[in-house]
Amino acid sequence: MSDATSRFLHVVIGPNPPERLDKALARDVPAEASLSRSRIARLLAEGAVTRAGAPATDGKAKVAEGEVYAISLGPAGEVATEAEAIPLQVLWEDDDLIVIDKPAGMVVHPAPGSPAGTLVNALLHHCGDTLSGVGGEKRPGIVHRIDKDTSGLLVAAKTDRAHHGLARQFEKHEVDRRYLALVHGVPDRSDPRLAGVKGVSFEPGGVIRIATQLARHRTDRQRQAVLFHGGRHAVTRVRVVECFGHPPALALVECRLETGRTHQIRVHLAHAGHGRVGDPTYGGRRKPSAAALGPEAAAAVAAFPRQALHAATLGFVHPVTGAELHFTSDLPADFAGLLACLGS
């Protein structure tokens, strides 16, 4: 590969190539280029791939060993999303990635209902010219998301090589992600009701394993639903950290994600009969027991304005240096204050 300034690649097709050009290029492009097959498809469509000076635009074209293709990457393009000077709590940053402790109330990615004020808007401003380009655009690479009302840790890529490396770790379930949630009731393996819930099993150390398929709800497209045929495989492990009330009426639980599906923790906890405090979508607005918790604590639980979920732990291998990185985040003030009220 030529120098980074020219943004130009020469790819030699190796032995026993796939029949299609796009697949052959994806296989034989230099690893340091970090070009995904979807990016290669776009480059082909744009006429940025040539052979002997002639554009090669058909990704389905047959190829032969020894053929040489030139790929013109060009400079990373600007994105339409506006950069905004929004303060960020940065736990780690280098040339390839950034780790943020996201506050509750911030949307991660711009969407029709939230075009501004998002984490991406903030990252575009914070990172500025240090974004070398992800997928051909000067933008941060978001490899995982957390809900607007969820606080805590999130990693974003600043380069293609970091984006691909992180995405592979998430795909292979190699990232350590642990959340703290306040739920109604106490998940307990001795509870005969919980033992009878399909998809729930028990592991050593008081760990409850919830394994189901997840897919969009059939009638409410904003929600996810538990399935056992079809959908996407999802596994959450739950461990009780602390109980509150006499008798116990609430529990602080640690949820460890093996997979990372949309709303996974929320859906799985609700499926197990332990919806989170402050989550009206998945059954977390149950009336807390004043008799068990005390009037003041019960009122604080009922008034908690968001879902009680915090991304507390994030661990992964740096996709470029190979260093093992591990981050923890303290509970935000509102969540910690609620626990303090319950504890008192």
88 neighbors 82 (Cβ within 8 angstroms): no
CA distances from residue 294 to 122, 196, 201, 274, 299 in whole angstroms, order as listed: 41, 31, 33, 20, 9
The question of whether 147 is a catalytic residue gets the answer yes
- Of 300, 293, 290, nearest to 338 by C-alpha is 300
- Residue in 106, 152, 165, 162 with CA at minimum distance from that of residue 132: 162
Cα 276 from chain centre: 20
Q: Which amino acid is at 8?
A: F
For residue 107, which of 86, 137, 125 has the smallest C-alpha distance? 86
- C-alpha span between 14 and 6 (Å, rounded): 24
Annotated active-site residue in 22, 96, 101, 147 = 147
Residue 252 · residue 181 · CB < 8 Å: yes
Which residues are tagged catalytic? 147
